Copies of this chain bind each other. A is one copy, B any other.
Amino acid sequence: MKQKIYIIKIGGALIDDEKLLNEFLVQFSEIKEKKILIHGGGKLATTLADKLGITQQLINGRRITDKDTLDIVTMVYAGRINKNIVAKLQQKNCNAIGFSGADANIIQAEKRIHPEIDFGFVGDINPQSINKKLVSELVSLNLIPVFSAITHDKKGNLLNTNADTIASVMAQALSEMYDVELLYCFDKEGVLEDVDDPDSIIKNVSEKSFSILKETGKLHKGILPKLENALAAIKNNVNKVFLIKETELKNHIENHHAGTEICLS
C-alpha cells in the first residue's frame, strides 16, 4: 500500500490575513501524515508594486510579468511569504523547508508563448520536469516542503507560475509513489451554486457536471481554472481531490467530508 501524502494549496485571501494564516498553519502542522504546502501570492505583490510606482497589467486575470514585476513577485512570494510561512511552521515544530521551483531543479517551466499577448516572465510548467525523486527523498527525511509559485526555465530565468497548477502537477507526479490527496483551500465553503450562499455547496463535481455548470454560467469566474486543475489531477491518478474552506482543514482531515469533492464521473 502506498503511503498517504496531502498536497495542500493555499491562496491569496488567507495569506493576506496574518491571524487566519496562523490558525491555518496550526491545523496544517497537526496533520500526522506526510504533507506538502503550496502557496500563492495575495495582495502583497500588488501593494509593493503600487508603492514602487510599477504599473501592474492584468489581462483576463493574468498578471503580465515584466522584469520589474518578476523581481517583485520573486521577492514577495519566494522571499517574504515563503520564509515567513516556514518560520511560523518551525515555531510549531513542523520541519518546513521552503522552495521555489528553481531550487534543486524541482519544477521547470517554459516561458509562455502567445500569438497576441506578451505575458513576460510567466511560466507554463513542464509536468515531466518535476523532480519527484528528490521531493520524495526530502519527504522521507521528514521534511515538509513549502513551495512558492516561482519556477525557472533552466536557462537562468525565474518564472511567475500559477500556484493552482503547481499543486495539480505536483500531485500528479507524486501519485506514482504516494496515495495523494490534493486539497485546494480557499475562502469559500466549496464550489457554490450561488457564490453568496455558503449553503449552496455542490458536493461533487465531475468532468461532465463541470461542463454543464460552465454552460449555465452559474459558477464564479475565478473558480474555473481551479476546477480545471482539480479535474486534471483526478484524471491523472491523484487519489482524492477536494476544494475546501481554509478554516475547515482539520475538520476535513479528521472527518473527510468538508467542501466539494472532485470525481472521475
Given contacts A152-B90, A156-B88, whether A74 and B78 have CB atoms under 8 Å apart is no
CB pair B158–A87 under 8 Å, yes or no, is yes
Nearest Cβ in chain B — how far from A120, in angstroms? 16
Interface bits A64-105 vs B (CB < 8 Å: 1, else 0): 000000010011111110111011101100011111101111
CB pair A84–B74 under 8 Å, yes or no, is yes
**A157 interfacial by beta-carbon distance below 8 Å:** yes
User: CA–CA, A102 to B81, complex, Å?
Assistant: 13
Considering residues A80, A86, A87, A152, which has the most beta carbons from chain B within 10 angstroms of its beta carbon?
A: A87
User: CA–CA, A40 to B158, complex, Å?
Assistant: 20
CB pair A90–B158 under 8 Å, yes or no, is no
Interface bits A179-198 vs B (CB < 8 Å: 1, else 0): 00000000000000000000
CB pair B90–A105 under 8 Å, yes or no, is yes
**A150 interfacial by beta-carbon distance below 8 Å:** yes
CB pair B90–A97 under 8 Å, yes or no, is no
Nearest Cβ in chain B — how far from A75, in angstroms? 4
Nearest Cβ in chain B — how far from A24, in angstroms? 14
Choose from B51, B52, B98, B102 the contact partner of A103 (Cβ within 8 Å): B98
User: CA–CA, A237 to B265, complex, Å?
Assistant: 64
Tell me the dominant secondary structure on chain A's binding face: helix
**A214 interfacial by beta-carbon distance below 8 Å:** no
CB pair A91–B154 under 8 Å, yes or no, is yes
CB pair B79–A80 under 8 Å, yes or no, is yes
User: CA–CA, A134 to B140, complex, Å?
Assistant: 12
CB pair B104–A97 under 8 Å, yes or no, is yes
**A117 interfacial by beta-carbon distance below 8 Å:** no
Choose from B52, B87, B100, B134 the contact partner of A102 (Cβ within 8 Å): B87
**A221 interfacial by beta-carbon distance below 8 Å:** no
**A114 interfacial by beta-carbon distance below 8 Å:** no
Nearest Cβ in chain B — how far from A143, in angstroms? 6
Contacts of A150 in B (CB 8 A): 83
Given contacts A75-B80, A83-B74, A134-B141, whether A95 and B105 have CB atoms under 8 Å apart is yes
User: CA–CA, A66 to B206, complex, Å?
Assistant: 50
CB pair A91–B156 under 8 Å, yes or no, is yes
**A155 interfacial by beta-carbon distance below 8 Å:** yes
Residue on B with the closest CB to A92?
A: B156
Contacts of A137 in B (CB 8 A): 141
Nearest Cβ in chain B — how far from A93, in angstroms? 9
User: CA–CA, A86 to B82, complex, Å?
Assistant: 16
5 closest pairs, A vs B, by CB?
Answer: A79-B79, A75-B75, A91-B156, A75-B79, A97-B104
